[in-house]
Structure 1
Amino acid sequence: MMRFKGTDASMASSNLFDSQTILDGIRRWVEIETPTDTPEQINKLISIVAEQYRDLPVTLEPVAGVDGCGDHLVVRSAWGQDRPGILVLSHLDTVHPMGFIERLPFKVEGDSAFGPGIYDMKGGAYIAHHAFRALCATAERSPLGITHMFTSDEEIGSPTSRALIETEGRKAKYVLVTEPARDGGKIVTGRKGVGRFEVFIKGVPAHAGTRPEDGRSAIRELANVIQALEGMNDLKRGVTVNVGVVRGGTRPNVTPEEAYAEVDLRVPGFADAEEFVGKILGLKSKTEGVIVKITGELNRPPYEKSNSGAALFEHAKTIATELGFDLIDTHTGGGSDGNFTAAHTATLDGLGVDGKGAHTHYEQLYVSSLEPRARLLYRLYQTLR
């Protein structure tokens, strides 16, 4: 049974949530570019984040990066660590390559602040930190301990942080994910599972002009595989299969010996995952003498809206109403680290800033969302128990 502390406690003074102060903090994080494949840049930002916690009642647990990824940082409140508490998940890596900030410099135009990764998700990561700092500025500690995990590899599927996330998620009572809000501030209570696959095809080379009968085209067989994969799309069921990368062949007058493809799968539920992972891995060659090999798996399980997750959302919705805005939930096709925790721990996602343009040349957050979203996190810290 979930129990929540009353939501009518007095708020901290408004200057703790000044939008310009919050935006200044976000800008500092944004102007340190952190593509996933630049661990030295991520570690630079991790060091700054750690430094910003040093005057607060926390313990800092750095986790060294491996396999070409940056470090992770686990920040634990000095209180409440003897029982299940609140786990906050934020990632600091971005998809934009180094130097992109010259194309998309930090700037403010009206209600929009621009910059690489500002919406997905440095804005959300920072407001969670800011809300914790505001909490520490009050005399009263939160009923539950708070653990904030900053990771470095979410944009490539969290290969080096997944085990850490799952371990901490199972220990927690609630998980709050600071991925960006959706469609005007909607909270996320469900996400599709994500699968990634590689297709390797081996044919038989030949001179395409003089001995075509000797060849077995790997590219032609790849076309068969692509047709089969694209035929699996079922928008009514919420299943999508996308062949996003293809390569093959050497020259136009050579029957191609090799071909390759990368495939993305999105599924709404566990039953769909089992069905379509099996279908993809089970594809066979239609051409004698051509070998088709497919590898891959579901790298993020579906995040289905559970009873505990629904109760957590309703609590957040009540807080939002008291703060003066409506909170609506939604299901999205994008994966997040919340996919790793939702099956066993009450999880609420999309708690970051509102905005638009994730992963684009116009990525932006809405400045007007900073104060209410930071206050929402602050009140969740104060009231969850």
Structure 2
Amino acid sequence: GARRILLAGHMDTVFDDGTAAARPFSMGGDHAHGPGVSDDKGGLLAGIHAIEALDALGWDQYAELVLLATPDEEIGSPVSRPVTEAAAAEADCALALECARENGDLVIARKGVADLRVTVTGRAAHAGIEPERGAHAALAAAHLVVALQALNGRFPDVSVNVGVLRSGSRPNIVPADAELHVEIRSSSAHGLDECRRAVEDLARTPSVPGTRTVVEVTDVCPPMEDTAPGRRLAETALRVGAALGLRVGAAATGGVGDANIIAGTGTPVLDGLGPVGGGDHGPDEWLDVSSVPGRVALLAALITEVGDPHGGPRL
């Protein structure tokens, strides 16, 4: 029968309060500038206008068409994630509205992320009088940072970064505690698990006697893996784009988004269906306004392709 289609974008940006007032929306030639024009205001507007265009044409060959706008994607979707998962689980396919890559490419894969908190516990002592009675947590943490960074390159398409290292309170005390915040990125769920186990193995053998290390997984965002159903969605989009005279490709990226959460439910998803933009998260963020008509047309036409139970692709 007719298919259930989910369109997904996000309303929030990374910028501090007052940024829009200090650096408001502006136009320069074919480029729009301002906080969030590419990530993700342009994509959200594309979704709204595509639906309005289809509604004006009277097209309703779908079981359900849902536009989901989340408010917290930039901080990891702590509140909206269950809503996104529920909507995705009910959908036959999903089209995510992050803007296209700078060259117009759609996104067929996004890396997943595992965030870890690694806590090292040692024993405090006076650094001048009796340092031998201490167990230097900062030293153990320093060795661990070196070992963790050395995991880069061990597993295919997996990266590790120790982004935060904290320890100590005074220069005359052997530190009793240390904390590391570690990020693992991988194109596959298997890669995330494999690397996490490697981190746990390192933690079991501390380099400083008397210290103990505990690894806690604080968050996991699943990868949007390159799958056969996703490829078929991309092939349909490329065919639709060619019919519209648009040069469209497909690529993988290391950034995460709403599409990762959708992919984690097993629902086929294609991302990058907003207009062409770039410079995300920075002061020079831009949107190519000349790309808007073509990209909205592509999105609307793709919705008709995947929604039609007779003419759409096999998912």
TM-score (norm 1): 0.74
Aligned counterpart in structure 1 of residue 268 of structure 2, from 341, 346, 352: 346
Q: Let me know the Cα RMSD of the aligned residues.
A: 1.9
Distance 1:256 1:140 in 2: 67
The offset of 1:164, in angstroms, is: 2.0
User: Equivalent residues in 2 for 1:12-23 (5 A)?
Assistant: none
Secondary structure in structure 1 of the residue aligned to 2:193: helix
Residue 43 of structure 1 is matched in structure 2 by none
- What code does the residue aligned with 1:350 have? G
Confirm or deny: 8 A CA contact 1:300 1:340 kept in the other structure.
yes
User: Equivalent residues in 2 for 1:151-300 (5 A)?
Assistant: 151-234=70-153, 237-282=156-201, 283-284=203-204, 285-296=206-217, 299-300=220-221
- What code does the residue aligned with 2:14 have? V
Q: Deviations over 1:130-189 (max 9, x none)?
A: 111122122332434210111112112222222222222121111000112123111000
- What code does the residue aligned with 1:257 have? A
Alpha-carbon distance change, 98 to 341 in structure 1, aligned in 2, over 3 angstroms? same
The offset of 1:102, in angstroms, is: 4.1
Q: Which runs of 4+ in 1 moved over 4 A?
A: none
Q: Deviations over 1:76-135 (max 9, x none)?
A: xxxxxx964110111112111112224432111222211112211111011101111122
Secondary structure in structure 2 of the residue aligned to 1:305: coil
Residue 365 of structure 1 is matched in structure 2 by 287
Secondary structure in structure 2 of the residue aligned to 1:221: helix
Distance 1:163 1:372 in 2: 33
Alpha-carbon distance change, 177 to 217 in structure 1, aligned in 2, over 3 angstroms? same
Confirm or deny: 8 A CA contact 2:158 2:192 kept in the other structure.
no
State the structure with bigger RCO (CA 8 A, min sep 6), 1 or 2. 2
Q: Which runs of 5+ in 1 are unaligned?
A: 1-81
TM-score (norm 2): 0.90
Residue 311 of structure 1 is matched in structure 2 by 232
Q: Percent of aligned positions with the same letter in both sequences?
A: 36
Between Structure 1 and Structure 2, how many residues are aligned? 304
Confirm or deny: 8 A CA contact 1:143 1:383 kept in the other structure.
no
Distance 1:155 1:286 in 2: 37
Confirm or deny: 8 A CA contact 1:241 1:266 kept in the other structure.
yes
User: Equivalent residues in 2 for 1:24-35 (5 A)?
Assistant: none
Confirm or deny: 8 A CA contact 1:157 1:299 kept in the other structure.
no
